[in-house]
Chains A and B, each alone.
Chain A
Amino acid sequence: MDNVIYLILRRMRLPLILLVSTYALSVLGLTLIMGQDDQGNPWKMDFFHAFYVVSYMGSTIGFGEIPYPFTDAQRMWVTFSIYITVTAWLYSIGTILSLVQDKNFRQVLAFSGFSRRVRSVREPFYLVCGFGDTGRILVNELATRGLACTVIDSDESQIQALELEDHPVVTPGLCADANEADVLVAAGLKNSFCQGVVAITPDDKINLKIAITSKLLRPELLVICRSESDDTAANMDSFGTDHIINPFHVFADNFSMTFNAPSMHLVFEWVTAMHNQPLEDFVTPPIGNWILCGYGRFGKSLYQRLRDEGLPVTVVEATPHRTNPPRGTIQGRGTEGETLEEAGLQEAVGIIAGTDNDANNLSILMTARDLKRDIYTVARLNAENNHSIFHAFSPGNMMRPSHITAQRILSLITTPLLEDFLQMAREQDEDWANLLVSSVAGIVSDRSPETWTVRIDCDDAPAVIELASEEHHCQIQHILVDPHAPDNPLPCIPLLLKRRGFKTLLPDHELIVQPGDEILFCGIHQAFTLQDILLKNYNALSYALLKEDRPSGYIWKWIHRQLHGN
């Protein structure tokens, strides 16, 4: 705010001096010129009246001549004064107006307003750089979970879009260049409430710069970056960026998993799904020849994974001299039937449209489907606003980079244990995944399950701690029942238990819960709220554990002890 006031004061110097000078000159003139009173005696106007006359002269003109009608000499001077004071006023007002419209001034105004709003945030928040498709999804999802964000984007229209959205928590946004450290600091990088920095601008270089700045200024802060090239990713990793997400790799990993481990793929999809997303079904792409159109970053990543799965892949690429595709590549965009036929469409079982142009991708798949009705299609969706037309085409599998990135970041922020779970799950076999899929399928309806972490401590689970201090140790199964009817199990499953750094996959329900444990659950939202009651309410938990109502007040506890001797 200081900046704004100084800017106004500095700009107003000249107009104000001009105004004071013209007023002084006019007033002085009026007091010096001889006039006449109503009896015709010579009379000189005094300062008080002169100031009064000049004041209304400059702003309104037309109050009449007071206290006595002016002489011609006075009128001559007043005429002159009118012109100079009116001009001075116009100049001053014009300066103020042009200052208000000035781009620099507005930027300073927006900047100081933004930093003020960030300073007023009194709850944990995340700093999100880049409010494109990914940023919008992420901020929305964080907001529905009650987590605040501050947003920086270099595009004015994106920030305006943010302001139009109605979030339940404060989400101050600023249109500025996230390359500058000052901007990051204004967005709360040094604020003690800042929990982490998410760098998801479309430019890898800017993301890199944000990561460096954040790690230098706040080394302990969680930094999550998107990087679409391995080169930048390695660079980010070198100085300790906590998580680097390459949506192409994530998709290629998941997609290749569908070939040999469809159940495992389903487990991954379900537990990482976003809030209220429809439940994914089994996807089983056919095994055989595949055609891959576009050999960019996405194409390269996918080609590698498909070859690892042992699938023969024919690449179609428009500019082979730039992307350096493998031997046997067909040159062309893939949007024409001839190119696709040349790539062996009739023998192929599936086609992947992986160029960075949405219109071309759709055209490739539509041509392919025209030529061969039953071909399996995989589409890469670049811009989220094209989702409806892609959806209308309904490809077998759709790669949505912004969705994948947002989903990944979200789970890293809200359920850090999930990452551990996924890592351990990857080492299990398909039978294990089959079992898990069937038990999760037993508790969910048509919506994806939610995942949440419970920490057994005084904040998250005071009831467990309190009962443990009374030598009543509860097992995991005791926090898996409906507090209103302890015979009914809650629709949720413990996925992972973390105890003193040691992790147990799918912990046994009879395991005793100890203070300091972290447990990852997966289930429907209702189960989450009901479980919270158990964890926080001593009476509810003790009833679930001991199947009896425990006295809760000091007096009743004393009477209870006297009666039962314990």
Chain B
Amino acid sequence: MNLEKVTFAFFILLALTLNFGFVMGEMDNPIHHNKYELFSALVVSLIATILKFGDRTHIGAVLLATSLVADLQLITASMVWSYADYVSGTGITPKIIADIVSLSGGALVANIASVILLIVETVLMRR
């Protein structure tokens, strides 16, 4: 058992599950989407990205790219949240929450791709 692989798979999978948990629910209903869940999805996604730093394999590079995409989507989503709450002053309207959820939905796709790649890598290794 390789501890590095365990940690990495853990974070990749956790990023997906947290992201999924946040996206679940009615799209335009703010009470279905917890801000703590978005926050933890973002943090875990960042950690998963950093864990892939310095991996010189091709699959490692693609994994780094998918995590970066997820990060970008989640950071944008949280920035939209903060903007709506404080800068524009409209608060979390159904339209805003729909925007946030669709952005995190994009991140969800990237996270799914990460997990698929992880599975492919594991199957290829056969160890």
Contact = CB atoms under 8 A, between A and B. Distances in A.
B53 A12 contact: yes
B54 A13 contact: yes
A398 to B, nearest CB: 55
Nearest to A49: B86
Contacts of B43: 20-21, 24
A28 B39 contact: yes
Interface in A19-76: 20-21, 24, 27-28, 31, 46-48
Given A12-B53, A16-B53, A46-B85, A21 B47 contact: yes
A9 to B, nearest CB: 4
A13 B50 CA distance: 6
Contacts of B5: none
A10 interface: yes
B29 interface: no
A47 B54 contact: no
A48 B86 contact: yes
Contacts of A47: 35, 39, 78, 81-82
A31 to B, nearest CB: 8
B108 interface: no
- By size class, the interface of chain B is 10 to 19
B51 A17 contact: yes
A37 to B, nearest CB: 15
B83 to A, nearest CB: 9
A11 B50 CA distance: 11
A17 B50 contact: yes
Contact of A20 (B39, B47, B54, B78): B47
A13 B78 contact: no
B58 interface: no
Given A27-B39, A47-B39, A48-B85, A17 B47 contact: yes
Contacts of B81: 47-48
A7 B36 CA distance: 34
Contact of A9 (B36, B46, B53, B86): B53
Contacts of B51: 13, 17
B82 A10 contact: no
B97 to A, nearest CB: 15
Interface in B20-48: 35-36, 39-40, 43, 46-47
A6 interface: yes
Taking each of B43, B50, B51, which has the highest tally of chain A beta carbons within 10 Å of its own beta carbon? B50
Nearest to A7: B54
Taking each of A9, A11, A27, which has the highest tally of chain B beta carbons within 10 Å of its own beta carbon? A9
B84 to A, nearest CB: 10
B53 A13 contact: yes
Contacts of B47: 17, 20-21
**SS of B interface (majority):** helix
Nearest to A8: B54
Contacts of A24: 39-40, 43
Contacts of A46: 35, 85
B81 to A, nearest CB: 8
B126 interface: no
A20 B50 contact: yes
Contacts of A16: 50, 53
B54 A6 contact: yes
Nearest to A13: B53
B50 A6 contact: no
A31 B34 CA distance: 13
Contacts of B35: 46-47
Contacts of B127: none
Contacts of A20: 43, 46-47, 50
B6 to A, nearest CB: 15
A17 B51 CA distance: 8
A21 B47 CA distance: 8
A53 to B, nearest CB: 14
A6 B46 contact: no
B57 to A, nearest CB: 11
A499 B50 CA distance: 68
B56 A6 contact: yes
A31 B78 CA distance: 15
A17 B50 CA distance: 7
Contacts of B40: 24
Nearest to B56: A6
Nearest to B64: A9
Contacts of B82: 47-48
Given A20-B43, A47-B78, A48-B86, A10 B50 contact: no
Contact of B53 (A10, A28, A31): A10
Nearest to B7: A17
Contacts of A17: 47, 50-51
Contacts of A28: 36, 39
A46 B86 CA distance: 10
Taking each of A6, A7, A21, A47, which has the highest tally of chain B beta carbons within 10 Å of its own beta carbon? A47
Nearest to B54: A10
A13 B51 CA distance: 6
B44 to A, nearest CB: 9
Interface string A297-330: 0000000000000000000000000000000000
A20 B39 CA distance: 12
B41 to A, nearest CB: 11
A419 B46 CA distance: 67
Q: Please give me the 6 A-B residue pairs with the lowest Cβ-Cβ distance, nearest first.
A: A10-B54, A9-B53, A9-B54, A48-B82, A24-B43, A16-B50
Given A9-B54, A12-B50, 20 more contacts: A6-B54, A9-B53, A10-B53, A13-B50, A13-B54, A16-B50, A17-B50, A17-B51, A20-B47, A20-B50, A21-B47, A24-B39, A24-B43, A31-B36, A31-B39, A46-B35, A46-B85, A47-B35, A47-B82, A48-B81
7 contacts: A6-B54, A9-B53, A31-B36, A46-B85, A47-B35, A47-B39, A48-B86
Interface of B: 35-36, 39-40, 43, 46-47, 50-51, 53-54, 56, 78, 81-82, 85-86
